Amino acid sequence: MKISKATTQVSYLHILQYIAFGGVILYIGRPLFIPLSFALLISCILYPICIWLEQHRVNKMTAILLSLSLIVILVGAIAYLFTFQLLSFLKEWTTLQDKLLQTFHTFSLWVTQELNISAEQQNEWLKNLGQHSGTDAMGFIRKTISAGTISGVLFILIPVYVVLILYHRDRWVDVLYRLFPTQRKEHIREILHLSIQSYYNFIKGMLLVYLIVGVLNSLGLYLIGIPHAVLFGFTASILTFIPYLGIIIAALLPITISWITYNSIWYPLGVIAVFAVVQYLEANVIFPLAVSSRLKLNALVTIAAIVIGGVLWGVAGLILFIPFLGIIKIIADRTPSLKTWSVLLGSGAEN
């Protein structure tokens, strides 16, 4: 009995060591693994389109390029919406600047009258704050430029990886056959098919998330009386494809319009409250439930994967670790020695 306990403790220790080692490899190898993972995700989505085109006598490379152009169009549409929002905001900047100066003057008078803080003291505080914020702003600009450069490199690498993965897909399958010679080819083929389907279900779940977010944004803006609520609501939903920055840019225009239209600070605060509440629901309720239900994953494990992905790979990990978890569950479901993991990852529904 003691030997059995010792053996069990050793096996658990090995599992923890493998998990820790895998985490270190994933963290160190981010520059390689992140673009490859995005390329694999896109390849699985485009694979059915490529097969359909090839069945209609379209050349293999032509089919890949045509299907890849769909992703390029989608990215271009998001970039257009981003630019449109920014230009619209800049057109309102003069009026907004006057409103800001007027509000600041009113607030300064209130501070002087109610708190007995002179205008000279306030100016001194603002001067010190400006010096500190200037330093922080330079750091933020450097980080933004660095992130933009990395994004540009990924924008080039990912399509190249997608083309190579799809063009040499038969060779990659043959490599899997050679890596797992003890497994039947039908078994490996089944797991590959279900993995592609898992990625497809993940994308459907994401589309459902953004549809729900768009409806909630629009409803919230409509209830507080913001003009063009549906336009602003769904624009914000689409721009959440751009993590963090997208929702900020999407909120600028409705905040500006509400301030100019109603000449009250409460309406801009209402816009901020609507977007903040919906974003909280999207991150903690809608996304885990909608995506995990599509992949038949446990909601708690899904949230844990999101957190771990964020720690290891940042924003990319928030997106990629969920379908990875779905593939692990598919493998566990069809491997008798991994049934415990299948139960742990599963949602309890029938597969």
Domain that holds residue 213: 197-351
If one compares 318 and 55, the residue with the highest pLDDT of the two is: 55
User: Could you tell me what percent of the chain has a pLDDT over 90?
Assistant: 5
Residues 6+ apart with CB under 8 A from 254: 221, 226, 232, 271
Please tell me whether residues 93 and 205 are part of one structural domain. no
Q: Is residue 3 part of a domain?
A: no
Q: Is residue 179 part of a domain?
A: no
Q: Is residue 207 part of a domain?
A: yes
Please tell me whether residues 46 and 145 are part of one structural domain. yes
The predicted structure's pLDDT at residue 3: 47
Please tell me whether residues 113 and 261 are part of one structural domain. no
Chosen domain end from 167, 182, 216 = 167
Q: Is residue 9 part of a domain?
A: no
Please tell me whether residues 327 and 202 are part of one structural domain. yes
Range scoring the smallest mean pLDDT among 58-62, 235-239, 278-282? 235-239
Please tell me whether residues 325 and 233 are part of one structural domain. yes
The 3-class SS string of the chain reads: CHHHHHHHHHHHHHHHHHHHHHHHHHHHCHHHHHHHHHHHHHHHHHHHHHHHHHHCCCCHHHHHHHHHHHHHHHHHHHHHHHHHHHHHHHHCHHHHHHHHHHHHHHHHHHHHHHHCCCHHHHHHHHHHHHHHHHHHHHHHHHHHHHHHHHHHHHHHHHHHHHHHHHHCHHHHHHHHHHHCCCCCHHHHHHHHHHHHHHHHHHHHHHHHHHHHHHHHHHHHHHHCCCCCHHHHHHHHHHHCCCCCHHHHHHHHHHHHHHHHHHCCCHHHHHHHHHHHHHHHHHHHHHHHHHHHHHHCECHHHHHHHHHHHHHHHCHHHHHHHHHHHHHHHHHHHCCHHHHHHHHHHECCCCC
CA torsion sign, 160 to 161 to 164 to 165?
negative
Please tell me whether residues 137 and 67 are part of one structural domain. yes
Give the distance from CA 59 to its chain's centroid: 33
- pLDDT tier, 239 (very low <50, low <70, confident <90, very high otherwise): confident
Q: Is residue 47 part of a domain?
A: yes
If one compares 39 and 16, the residue with the highest pLDDT of the two is: 39
pTM above 0.85, yes or no: no
Q: Which of 279, 227, 274, 276 is nearest to 253 (CA)?
A: 227
Please tell me whether residues 43 and 117 are part of one structural domain. yes
Please tell me whether residues 40 and 127 are part of one structural domain. yes
The predicted structure's pLDDT at residue 219: 93
What's the average model confidence in pLDDT over 134-152? 55
**pLDDT tens string 298-330:** 778 877 888 888 888 877 787 788 778 877 887
- Residue whose token pair is 């694999």: 40
126 is written with which tokens?
């603002």
Number of domains in the chain: 2
What's the average model confidence in pLDDT over 191-213? 78
